[in-house]
Amino acid sequence: HAVVMMMTSWNWALKSYLRRNGVTPITMWSTRRLHGPAATYRYQVYARLARRYRDRYDEMMVTDTRDVLFQRHPFADLTSPACHFYIEHPTRLIGEVPTNLRWAKQFLPAAQAAELAKHRISCNGIVIGGMAAMDHYLDRMAADIRAVPLKVRRHGAADASLHHRLEIGRASCRERV
């Protein structure tokens, strides 16, 4: 097992604690001015890690530990090496949540935003799967985020809508509640 945690450069006490407990801290140098928000830039870092370790590990999980609560072991019951995503609510749709709908309209063409509005919300704060599937997913996410003009990307949350678009359109992803 390898655990990597991205963080800002100034949190020396946490980095020391993580190292003592077998976690590799990685400093993420990101500025909104150059990369857009850290929440979107992290996909560039994730994609590099997936590419680097694709042949070393069998599975990969990316998660935003600030807003994800694990109710069971995240690798339990994985039935395939596909990319797995988690539904935030059993019935609510993207179009029913004003923030998600606003992000879709802000970062996607109108037709894609309208199509996305009909689907349930999946959490881009956690995605898990086999290395090949994760490498592909993260490479697409990173490329799609880079394609959003920086001026627009600086407004934040492009990652949520781009994640939804990828997950809904991919047969290699499996939904988990």
Residue 132's DSSP bridge partners are: none
**DSSP single-letter state for residue 88:** S
pTM of the model: 0.85
- What is the percentage of the chain residues whose pLDDT exceeds 70? 94
Scanning the structure block, which residue is given the tokens 């850290």? 38
In this prediction, residue 68 carries a pLDDT of: 75
Q: At what angle are helices 38-53 and 158-169 packed, to 10 degrees?
A: 50
Q: Read off the pLDDT of each residue in 21-25 and give the average, rounded to a whole number.
A: 93
In this prediction, residue 90 carries a pLDDT of: 85
Q: Name the CA radius of gyration of the chain, rounded.
A: 16
Query: Is pLDDT larger for residue 54 or for residue 64?
Result: 54
Burial zone of 95 (CB within 10 Å; 0-12 exposed, 13-18 middle, 19+ buried): middle
In this prediction, residue 175 carries a pLDDT of: 53
Query: Is pLDDT larger for residue 157 or for residue 177?
Result: 157
| pLDDT tens column, 74-112 | 888 888 999 888 888 889 999 999 999 999 999 889 999
Task: Provide the token pair at 92.
Answer: 């609510």
Q: Answer whether 160's CB lies under 8 Å from 103's CB.
A: yes
In this prediction, residue 130 carries a pLDDT of: 93
Distance CA 3, CA 20 (A): 12
176 pLDDT above the threshold of 60: no
The listed range with the strongest mean pLDDT (31-35, 69-73, 86-90, 139-143) is 139-143
Residue 120's DSSP bridge partners are: 93
